[in-house]
Amino acid sequence: MDEKYAARFEALAKTIWAKDKEVVLIVGDFVYGSAIRDPLKFSGAFSGITSLAGQQKIIRLAKQHGREVWFDVHVGTDGPRPDAAFAGMFSFVSALERIADGARFQVAVFEFNAGNHSQKRALANSLAINAIERDGRIPIAASANCLQPDRQNDNGWDQGLLFLNPSRVWLQPPGYVTQVVARNYQPKLVGCEVSGQKGNLDANAKLSEDGKTLVLQVVNPTDTAVTVRIRITGFTPIKPEAQATDLSGPLDAINLAGKTDAIVPRQNAWERQINNGSTIRTFPACSFTVLRLE
């Protein structure tokens, strides 16, 4: 997105806002592959831009009209450790904050993008979700693409979450991540620290509004199972069993039409033994796990 884009945006925005003051316009931005240090001079943008001068003009325009504007940034989730992509995404938000001058704006991620639909993308999507939840500044994150005809991909974005053929539809591993996260959503992020296994495990903890349900969201991107001690403070489970959901399998594993359940979430009752707020759990290799305690 450059200043030419900003000029075209201004013409459209003024026309749209004149008709409906409640419309929130979204700027189609792109991908930032490395951290932005200076909003007006950087490299690593996939679009080729080296300055956020165009974004700055749009933000100023929105402020002049008393409006809020959103920016859509995409993130690469090809493999289980897309750390550089995350740095670019979060630094983009920080860069806009530096040049906003009080204007109202939001950054959304409408596409996690990849060239595959395997377990490694499922883990990368999980890590992206955890990172965005911890950062707290991005209100919406979604994964591309939803529907894909089996064996009919005609471009490099072989990343469907839901596959179909004339007789059936089935989810791929990253599609199950979306499903599991949605089914276990809780609104309040609470403190969660991984020690001793830093770099091996990534985890978030979330609490229900009434404080009665605690959800642990854990990613093990390594090729070995990891056993850890979980310490819980400020929350005492009443139910003797917790619900555990594990999505695990080889990094390149996918669900084929002839075997649509090769990689699916496995649910079981976790009979945790909590002593003084502490318990033990093993997280499978290459896994995304949700533990639900009540």
Domain residue ranges in the chain: 3-183, 188-293
Please write the tens of the pLDDT for every residue from 157-189. Answer: 899 999 999 999 999 999 999 999 999 999 999
What is the per-residue pLDDT for 204? 97
Q: Are 114 and 124 within 8 A, CB to CB?
A: yes
Whole-prediction pTM = 0.94
Laid out side by side, the sheet with 68-76 consists of 25-28, 68-76, 104-113, 141-143
d(CA 74, CA 157): 13
What is the per-residue pLDDT for 117? 96
What integer is the mean pLDDT of 108-129? 96
What is the per-residue pLDDT for 276? 76
What is the per-residue pLDDT for 96? 97
Q: Name the residue type at position 164.
A: L
Considering only CA atoms, which of 182, 155, 184 is closest in space to residue 171? 182
d(CA 112, CA 245): 23
Higher pLDDT, residue 10 or 271: 10
d(CA 117, CA 123): 11
What is the per-residue pLDDT for 293? 93
Please compute, for residue 73, the number of CA atoms within 13 A of its CA located in the half-sphere on the CB side.
Answer: 26
Banded model confidence at residue 275, pLDDT cuts 50, 70, 90: confident
DSSP H/E element including 292: strand 287-293
What is the per-residue pLDDT for 155? 81
Banded model confidence at residue 198, pLDDT cuts 50, 70, 90: low
Banded model confidence at residue 94, pLDDT cuts 50, 70, 90: very high
Q: How confident is the prediction for the chain on average, in pLDDT?
A: 93
d(CA 203, CA 224): 17
User: 188-293, what's its fold?
Assistant: Immunoglobulin-like (2.60.40)
Percentage of the chain surpassing pLDDT 90?
81
What integer is the mean pLDDT of 222-240? 91
Provide CB contacts within 8 A for 20, sequence distance 6+.
none
Identical topology for domains 3-183 and 188-293: no
pLDDT at 53 over 80: yes
Higher pLDDT, residue 3 or 95: 95
Banded model confidence at residue 71, pLDDT cuts 50, 70, 90: very high
Classify domain 3-183 by CATH number: 3.20.20.80
pLDDT at 105 over 90: yes
Q: How far is CA 124 from CA 77, 137, 168, 288, in A?
A: 5, 19, 27, 10
What is the per-residue pLDDT for 83? 65
pLDDT at 220 over 70: yes
DSSP output for 105-119: EEEEEEEEE-S--SH
d(CA 13, CA 291): 45
pLDDT at 60 over 80: yes
What is the per-residue pLDDT for 85? 72
What are the structure tokens assigned to 30, written together? Answer: 């792109």
d(CA 238, CA 247): 26
Local structure of residue 201 (DSSP, 8 states): B
Q: Name the residue type at position 42.
A: F
What is the per-residue pLDDT for 2? 78
pLDDT at 12 over 70: yes
What is the per-residue pLDDT for 239? 84
d(CA 35, CA 82): 13
